[in-house]
Amino acid sequence: MAGGGSFVGLAGCTDLFETQSAQAPPLPENRPDAVYYPTHYEGMEMPGMKEQSGYKCALTYSYAHRFWLMKPNGISKVEIQPEDSIHLMPVVWDTQTGIIPPDVNPQLTITQDGESVDQFAPWPMLSQPMGFHFGDNAQLRGDGTYTVEVSIGGPSTRRTGSLTENQGNASFTFEFEFSESTLNEISYTDIPDDKEGTKGAVGLMDMEMLPNSQVPTPDALPGDVRGSGTSGDAKFVVTLLDDASRFGGGEGQKYLAVSPRTPYNRTMLPMMSLSATLQRDGTSVFDEILQATIDPDLRYHYGTTVADVQSGDELTITVDSPPQTARHEGYETAFADMPDVQVTL
Amino acid sequence: MLLYLDYQRDGQPSEDDREEVEAALRGIEHAYERSGDGLLLTVSYSPAYFGRFDESLPEGVDLPDPEALAPFEDPEFDTPDAVVHLASNTAQVVLGAEEALKGNKSTLNGVDQPDATLTDVVTIADRRTGFIGDGLPAEKADEAEGVPADKVPEDAPLFMGFKSGFKKNQASEDRVTIQSGPFAGGTTQHISKLDLNLNQWYNQDDRWQREAKMFCPYHAENDVIEGAGDNLGTSSKIDDCEPTDETAREMGVVGHSQKSARARDDDDSPLILRRDFDSTDDGTASLHFLALQRRITDFVDTREVMNGTDVTEQSAVGQRNNNGILQYIRTERRGNFLVPPRSLRALPPAQPAADAQEVTYESS
Ligand code: HEM
Ligand SMILES: [Cu+2]
């Protein structure tokens, strides 16, 4: 009995070790300070989807991942721990608009037969195939049935339109049948050596029943799109809306919205501190912070009300803090060092 | 140790029961000196307890029902009648006192115990235990699930690795004492149970992030903190941090202490006196956050400032991400209590006639 037990233990360890080295191959050399092709990408599995209080939630997972956390002067790498089993991602979205709100930080509680297994608040993250999501590596106890509770609270970013109605708490409970063999069936695609580390991105995963975290193409943005610029490999599109009333603006005021997005995939870039100045004929017309806002049409963006914008005005967007989301491979060197963006409106 | 108690009788307490409670408390008090080396003891009562009376609490006693205090939390509320808080530098003293209160000891520390026992009139609804002290969290790390092995510093007094409760960052006893009315000399107490996520804290964050998120980015940038922070002396040097909103905008991360220090009164005193301690109850690394303040509102205001919702709306700081230590703590339970002055500590009425109470107890 004892011998059998340790044999199984040993086999498990070897297995784990092999999986991990596949999940964390050496990083490409000479990564650019830009979005780049990672060493590989993976699919994901979706054990379930639930709906409650105006929100939907899908529980999804993939292999355990290495990722990076942001710091003011750089990034810090999070390695896969030997105990990590999967990368667990609860995707929560507003049912009506399909928007994934980055300000609503889910809390995960994993139990097995009523006993606590793991509990954490997953990090807000950016990944090329998943887009913006909340996720973290979870530590399970091998094959078996787990109960995963995802709970969310009220918002903490300004919302407009129909989104203002969605203020509530919600909790979604999933029965999650986990097995190492199902995990190992998740696709794993290697990117050829000559391609990894070069500028570009893996496309967003085709996630049928799930909404994506993209922002509209410039053509599809509401208002009058007045220009765009880039910084740290992110693209900033500037649009002007005539009616600022739903953004707290007074009569006759306009709304200036800045919509940053990743190159290639058009994934939203939340959790930045942005500010802007507007110069007209060499004098400053305004100097304000741009407030993060989630709007059903503009989706996640940063904006301010303005009295007026004239053609030829010089807009300078300053990135006071780059996106504080954690980053998966291929995004960790981009959107970090972000100089001012100049746009002539 | 916290013993949550339900008074057995329906409605208002009887005079006999008051005497029984007071006698039981005196029994354990006589056994030890009143200090950390001996035994420290408080008794406090919940809004549910005061609901037994027709009269409401005097004006000036602020004791609302507990409520959720952050947009992202959904705690259970503690509604037993009372809480006995036993504390000592010696764990055995606390355990002995508990047994004596339950009537399981005829002598305690060599001192005869009264026939009266607390559990004759109350039922123990919950029992929470904990510890605080240099090295204790590291020692107890393997009692709890999910505490990364060998990561909690050997000398840290709390699981998260830093010293807490610097003298100058605490409200004074005077600041938290109710000043007038029949409960003058008492205080209010808020007790929450916070579960900790130490995997992210120790395995994913680095030292810089832990310092920035616990204190402020300035402290992390300038290596202000050595080890658990004993080098800081009597204050967390929070005045050296930049204003919270500036740090949030420019660094994208704010510290717990930096944020919480915005809850100060006109004399720059913090509003709450923190007496929190760690726990491995139910095999989970957690913290019993016990705070004393003149009014529960003082706690609510402090917690609101700690949530930093104002900061997240206007900066890269998230609801929990980079927002002090909110990422790592989950509120499991909350309860509000009134700690009456000593003369009223045994099953007090909601509207005491101050002198009458005094007399009853002196004669008992
Ligand atoms: C795991 C939970 C917590 C830990 C480990 C923790 C730790 C700390 C530390 C290390 C400090 C700085 C040192 C000091 O001034 O004592 C501090 C300050 C402070 N904390 Fe906490 N804390 C926790 C939860 C809370 C909670 C729930 C509150 C209540 C709202 C709170 C309120 C405060 C206040 C008011 C200060 C002092 C601010 C001032 O200087 O005015 N803390 N905490
Ligand atoms: Cu992720």
What is the model's pLDDT at position B146?
83
Could you tell me if A28 and A144 lie in one domain? yes
In a domain, A207, yes or no: no
Could you tell me if A132 and A63 lie in one domain? yes
Nearest to B141 by CA among B276, B287, B279: B279
Q: Which residues form ligand 1's pocket by a CB distance below 6 Å? A: B 158, 160, 162, 164-166, 169, 194, 196, 214, 236, 238, 256-257, 260-261, 263-264, 270, 272, 274, 287, 289, 302-303, 306, 325, 329
CA atoms of B92 and B113, how far apart (whole Å): 17
What is the model's pLDDT at position A166?
78
Could you tell me if A101 and A157 lie in one domain? yes
CA atoms of A268 and A257, how far apart (whole Å): 14
Could you tell me if A157 and A239 lie in one domain? no
What is the model's pLDDT at position A140?
95
B279 touches chain A (CB under 8 A): no
Could you tell me if A339 and A260 lie in one domain? yes
In a domain, A197, yes or no: no
CB-CB under 8 Å, A289 with B251: no
B79 touches chain A (CB under 8 A): no
Q: Is the pLDDT of residue B358 over 60?
A: no
Q: How far is A100 from chain B (nearest CA, A)?
A: 15
What is the model's pLDDT at position B233?
87
Could you tell me if A37 and A135 lie in one domain? yes
B312 touches chain A (CB under 8 A): yes
What is the model's pLDDT at position A8?
30
B249 touches chain A (CB under 8 A): yes
Q: Is the pLDDT of residue B362 over 70?
A: no
In a domain, A117, yes or no: yes
Kindly list the domain boundaries of chain B, sorted by start residue: 2-356
CA atoms of A160 and A249, how far apart (whole Å): 12
CA atoms of A91 and A124, how far apart (whole Å): 11
Could you tell me if A226 and A322 lie in one domain? yes
B69 touches chain A (CB under 8 A): no
Backbone angles phi, psi at A41, to 5 degrees: -140, 165
Query: Best interface-test mutation with B: which of A105, A157, A269 has the largest number of B CBs within 10 A?
Result: A105
| A42: containing domain | 5-190
As for the ipTM of the complex, it is 0.91
B130 secondary structure, DSSP code: -
On whether the CB atoms of residues A97 and A157 are closer than 8 A, the answer is no
CB-CB under 8 Å, A292 with B197: no
Closest residue to A124, CB basis, from B204, B208, B321 = B321
Q: How far is B214 from chain A (nearest CA, A)?
A: 14
pLDDT in tens, B160-204: 999 999 889 999 999 999 999 999 999 999 999 999 999 999 999
CB-CB under 8 Å, B321 with A71: no
On whether the CB atoms of residues B124 and B3 are closer than 8 A, the answer is yes
- pLDDT by residue, tens only, chain A of 345 residues: 332 222 333 333 334 444 556 778 899 989 999 999 999 999 999 999 999 989 999 999 999 999 999 999 889 999 999 999 999 999 999 999 999 999 999 999 999 999 999 999 999 999 999 999 999 999 999 999 999 999 999 999 999 999 998 777 899 999 999 999 999 999 999 999 999 999 999 999 988 789 999 999 999 999 999 999 999 999 999 999 999 999 999 989 999 999 999 999 999 999 999 999 999 999 999 999 999 999 999 999 999 999 999 999 999 999 999 999 999 999 999 999 999 999 999
B252 touches chain A (CB under 8 A): yes
What's the whole-number average pLDDT of chain B? Answer: 94
CB-CB under 8 Å, A156 with B309: yes
**Interhelix angle for B354-363 vs B15-31, to 10°?**
60
B151 secondary structure, DSSP code: T
* Range B128-149 average pLDDT: 92
What is the model's pLDDT at position A200?
98
Q: Output b/e per residue, A268-302; b: 16+ Cβ within 10 A.
A: bbbbbbbbbebbeeeeebbeebbbbbbbbbbbbbb
Q: How far is B251 from chain A (nearest CA, A)?
A: 5
B245 touches chain A (CB under 8 A): no
What CATH number is given to the structural domain containing A16? 2.60.40.2480
Q: Output b/e per residue, B279-307; b: 16+ Cβ within 10 A.
A: bbbeebbbbbbbbbbbbbebbbbbbebbb
Could you tell me if A64 and A155 lie in one domain? yes
Closest residue to A120, CB basis, from B71, B199, B217 = B199
Nearest ligand, measured from the Cα of A128: 2
Chain A residues in contact with B330 by the CB 8 A cut-off are: 107, 119, 121
What is the model's pLDDT at position A21?
64
Q: Output b/e per residue, B235-271; b: 16+ Cβ within 10 A.
A: ebbbeebeebbebbbbbbbbbbbbbbbbbeeeeebbb
Could you tell me if A267 and A335 lie in one domain? yes
pLDDT in tens, B200-236: 999 999 999 999 999 999 999 999 999 999 999 888 9
Could you tell me if A41 and A165 lie in one domain? yes
What is the model's pLDDT at position B359?
37
CA atoms of A148 and A58, how far apart (whole Å): 11
In a domain, A213, yes or no: no
- Structural domain count of chain A: 2
Q: Is the pLDDT of residue B355 over 70?
A: no
Could you tell me if A17 and A160 lie in one domain? yes
Chain A residues in contact with B314 by the CB 8 A cut-off are: 273, 289, 291
CA of A233 to the centre of ligand 2 (A): 20
On whether the CB atoms of residues A71 and B209 are closer than 8 A, the answer is yes
Rg (CA), chain B: 21
Helix (H, G, I), strand (E, B), or coil: what is residue B133?
A: coil
Q: Three-state SS string across A179-224, please? A: CHHHHHHCCEEECCCCCCCCECCCCCCCCCCCCCCECCCHHHCCCE
Q: Which of A258-267, A332-341, B3-12, B136-145 has the lowest mean pLDDT?
A: B136-145
Q: Which of B60-69, B139-148, B255-264, B290-299 has the lowest mean pLDDT?
A: B139-148
